[in-house]
């Protein structure tokens, strides 16, 4: 996925910044503790498609 694209994308729920998780191909919203999938280099910013992050994952991404 184009990393520059992450600068203009926002969480559809809180409108906050997203972080790109290259390892797991997903976009992370720390405010809502959600991970949005990236499929075929296309971000899927649909709340129903997002996965809840664990507390450990949120801590990892905040550090």
Give 10-49 pLDDT, tens digit per residue.
999 999 999 999 999 999 999 999 999 999 999 999 999 9
Q: Give the pLDDT score at 1.
A: 74
Work out the number of other CB atoms within 10 angstroms of the CB of residue 44.
Answer: 14
As a whole number of Å, the end-to-end CA separation of the chain is 23
Q: What is the chain's alpha carbon radius of gyration, rounded to the nearest angstrom? A: 11
Q: What is the CATH number of the domain that holds 18?
A: 2.20.25.10
Helices (H), 1-63: 55-62
Q: Name the residue range of residue 46's domain.
A: 3-62
What is the C-alpha separation between 55 and 8, in angstroms, rounded?
A: 26
Cβ neighbours around 43 below 10 Å, total: 19
- Number of domain units in the chain: 1
Report pLDDT for 7.
Answer: 87
Q: What is the pLDDT of residue 2?
A: 78
């Amino acid at each position: 996925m184009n990393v520059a694209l992450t600068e203009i994308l926002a969480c559809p729920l809180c409108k906050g910044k997203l972080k790109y998780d290259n390892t797991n191909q997903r976009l992370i919203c720390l405010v809502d503790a959600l991970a949005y999938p990236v499929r075929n280099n296309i971000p899927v910013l649909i709340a129903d498609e997002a996965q809840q992050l664990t507390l450990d994952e949120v801590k990892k991404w905040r550090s």
